[in-house]
């Protein structure tokens, strides 16, 4: 919360002396870290975004669930917990449609005076061949969805985030941005998203806005339904013995968005069951 300058003149705008106060070493036992906060979750209808919306609402936030799939976002909003005065809303938003993003934010601004948390989760990958077979259309589509999408939502959200005294942005990258797993356009887009998030963090820090990224490993969502063996077939790759659940990622997003992370900005947090720990194995170093 902002510390108010006691010397400010009556009626004058109070000076912001501590935009990111330190958390107490004896934290408030209340689990409602987002009580009174407005959280915009982009891609909230399904998967990791839906779990993030659920988690933030359960901790007291008013959630704006934005998604391409407005019908599913509306159903999601209806099922979210409502704590106290929380007021959830569903908004149709295609992050690949520049004009549409601006229209959606005009709708959000009519209903909410500010945004405290922006969790940009929407993204995805498609099947395509190796570098020699992958044409411009696939590259442009994946870069547009996974890199320009978050760029557009952050750009449109900044005026509303600047009205908050605890603003935090969390983007969802991927372990594909950190190690070579395959899928060049997706990996390039998610690496670009990390660079964008870190440059953004440096740029908006003076406004008291934090920006961090989460890099999940395999998370059991609908995107794995068509894959032979499903997400669980990849469990043996994970030192912790299982693939991730959407709730694992939502918990990390909630931490980075909360005041407990008040002095953390510009980081990428892998949420990967230890996947990135693995080197070439014993005897190689």
Ligand X SMILES: NC(=O)c1ccc[n+]([C@@H]2O[C@H](COP(=O)([O-])OP(=O)(O)OC[C@H]3O[C@@H](n4cnc5c(N)ncnc54)[C@H](O)[C@@H]3O)[C@@H](O)[C@H]2O)c1
Whole-number Å distance between alpha carbons of 235 and 267: 26
Site for ligand X in 225-244 (CB under 6 A): none
218 near ligand X, rule: CB under 6 A: yes
Q: Measure the CA–CA gap between 253 and 269, rounded to whole angstroms.
A: 9
CB of 251 to ligand X, least distance (A): 14
| Dihedral sign, Cα of residue 180, residue 185, residue 186, residue 187 | positive
Residue selected from 18, 32, 74, 96 as contacting ligand X according to rule CB under 6 A: 96
If binding means CB under 6 A, how many residues of this protein chain bind ligand X? 26
CB of 234 to ligand X, least distance (A): 9
Q: Is 238 among the catalytic positions?
A: no
**Helix, strand and coil in the chain, % to nearest 5:** 40, 15, 45
Which of 186, 196, 224, 238 is catalytic? The answer is 186
Q: Where do the DSSP E strands lie in the chain?
A: 38-42, 62-67, 89-92, 117-120, 168-172, 210-216, 268-271
Give the C-alpha separation, 272 to 285, whole Å: 24
Part in contact with ligand X (CB under 6 A); list of ranges 30-38, 46-54, 104-112, 155-163 = 46-54
Binding pattern for the stretch 113-152 against ligand X, x by CB under 6 A and - elsewhere: --------xxxx--------------------x-------
Q: Does 59 bind ligand X (CB under 6 A)?
A: no
Which one among 62, 174, 197, 258 touches ligand X, defined by CB under 6 A? 174
Query: CA 193 from chain center: how many Å?
Result: 11
Nearest-approach distance from CB 164 to ligand X, in angstroms: 23
Distances from the Cα of 203 to the Cα of 138, 150, 212, 237, angstroms: 31, 16, 13, 37
Give catalytic residue positions.
Answer: 186
Write out the residues near ligand X by the rule CB under 6 A: 43, 45-49, 67-69, 93-96, 121-124, 145, 172, 174, 216, 218-219, 221-223
């Amino acid at each position: 919360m902002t510390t108010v300058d006691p010397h400010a003149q009556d009626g004058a705008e109070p000076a912001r002396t501590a935009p990111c106060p330190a958390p107490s070493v004896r934290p408030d036992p209340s689990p409602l870290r987002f009580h009174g906060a407005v959280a915009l979750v982009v891609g909230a209808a399904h998967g990791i975004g839906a779990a993030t919306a659920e988690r933030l609402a359960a901790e007291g936030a008013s959630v704006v669930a934005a998604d391409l799939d407005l019908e599913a976002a509306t159903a999601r909003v209806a099922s979210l917990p409502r704590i106290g005065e929380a007021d959830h809303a569903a908004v149709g938003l295609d992050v690949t449609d520049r004009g549409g993003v601006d229209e959606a934010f005009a709708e959000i601004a009519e209903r909410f005076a500010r945004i405290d948390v922006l969790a940009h989760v929407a993204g995805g990958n498609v099947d395509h061949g190796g570098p020699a077979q992958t044409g411009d259309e696939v590259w442009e589509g994946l870069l547009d969805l996974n890199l320009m999408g978050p760029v557009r939502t952050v750009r449109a959200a900044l005026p509303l985030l600047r009205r908050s005294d605890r603003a935090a942005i969390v983007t969802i990258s991927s372990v594909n941005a950190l190690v070579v797993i395959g899928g060049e356009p997706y990996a390039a887009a998610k690496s670009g998203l990390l660079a964008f998030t870190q440059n953004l963090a440096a740029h908006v820090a003076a406004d008291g806005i934090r920006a961090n990224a989460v890099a999940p490993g395999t998370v059991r969502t609908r995107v794995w339904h068509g894959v032979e063996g499903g997400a669980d077939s990849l469990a043996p790759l994970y030192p912790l013995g299982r693939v991730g659940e959407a709730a694992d990622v939502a918990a990390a997003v909630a931490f980075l968005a909360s005041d407990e992370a008040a002095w953390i900005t510009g980081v990428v947090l892998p949420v990967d069951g230890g996947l990135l720990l693995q080197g070439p194995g014993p005897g190689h170093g």
